[in-house]
Amino acid sequence: MPVLLSAPLAADLLPVPGVRLGVSEAGIRKLHRKDLTLIELAEGARVAGVFTLNRFCAAPVQVCRAHLQAGDIRALVINTGVANAGTGEPGLVAARATCAAVAAHLGLQASQVLPFSTGVILEPLPVEKLIAGLPAAQEALAENRWHDAAHAIMTTDTVAKVASRQVQIGGRTVTLTGMSKGAGMIRPNMATMLGFLATDAAVAQPLLEMLVREAADLSFNSITVDGDTSTNDSFILIATGQAGNPEIGDAASADYAALRNAVVELSTWLAQAIVRDGEGATKFITLQIEGGLDKEECRKVGYAIGHSPLVKTAFFASDPNLGRILAAIGYAGIADLDVSRLRVWLARAGEEVLVAEKGGRAASYQEEAGARVMAASEITIRVDLARGSAAATLWSCDFSYEYVKINADYRS
């Protein structure tokens, strides 16, 4: 069960004018499940994206990057079940054939289509099944199909991850709706996650590209489930411009600040939902690292803790074996770290416990207090490096028996 994350209701989701979605059963890996999503964008929509840094990036990622450079994106197509990664030149052929088929159905050019895949790596994409599923997805196109689409992009997710927000910009009500998928092979830069966020705000292309990078860094690039960077991760930001607000073209404007805050807030919710639904997760862990010389070293420490299987299994068991946290901080890669100045706290709602200071166990620390905090579903690990004023916040989860079971049986 996900950690304090409930299944979304279709009635809570808001359509974004200029975005239509449709899903179908293509039988790409399993029969009788929705596994193909088609998204059609109105003319004039603007699109920006960021993608995995894994050098073995999937064929659809390579095609997306090329098509985004050309601009004028009018459609997205997403399949689950097969990642089309580690598939060489045949994988690229399949991704391009997918785009050509979508373009033929919608009256577009193939370069106006972005393809996305998620699922098992090293297996060929059954592109003939995908193409055969397109007519049904096209027939289902409607603005109110976010709930269906969020379910159709799932793999090992246990709940769909989708939400809406509204904000006032330029005297107009601007709508944002986004969805994400991911539960395992999750770490920053990015992970086996897909994220799609659409708004009807009017915003200049350069600002949209700046915003998608900033939002990703503050959300999807600040999570980890198991430390594995995937081959397929993508985060796409769409602005249809149909809200009627004056186009946002100045990064220093109040309108841009309002849009940025809304995009970052929704992106963060979607990213945290991935961690809350991490494979087998029972604890949601916030890592607050402060007192660094710069943000990057704070992130290093946060990820060292968040990736550590020893830390994660201790939190699953609510076992205050907290020397594992100190060990992770020590190998995070800060060569001149003065551990005698460092302090570490554990916290849950309404309670914070000082665990370590002056190079060792805090004099006031009682193991019973540590166990009490670790029994909570939401826990914060706060670390003060005592080196400067920089800080970073990351999100992670524990490791349970279920994580091993899910990944041992993933293909069966």
Active site residues: 192
How many Å apart are CA 152 and CA 25, to the nearest integer?
Answer: 9
Rounded-to-10 torsion of CA 260, 157, 185, 280: 120
Rounded-to-10 torsion of CA 401, 403, 409, 412:
130
Angle between helices 127-139 and 88-106 (to 10 degrees): 20
Residues 314, 315, 319, 321, Cα dihedral to 10°: 60
Q: What is the DSSP string of 128-139?
A: HHHHHHHHHHHH
Peptide bond into 193 cis (omega under 30): no
What secondary structure does DSSP assign to 326-344, as a single string?
HHHHHTSS-TT--TTT-EE
Which residues are paired to 168 by β-bridges? 173
**Residue-wise DSSP of 171-191:** TEEEEEEEEEE-SSS--SS--
CA 380 – CA 374 distance, rounded (Å) = 9
**Around 151, how many Cα atoms within 13 Å sit in the side-chain half-sphere?**
13
Report the SS3 class of residue 117.
Answer: strand
Query: Which helix (H) or strand (E) element contains residue 19?
Result: strand 19-24
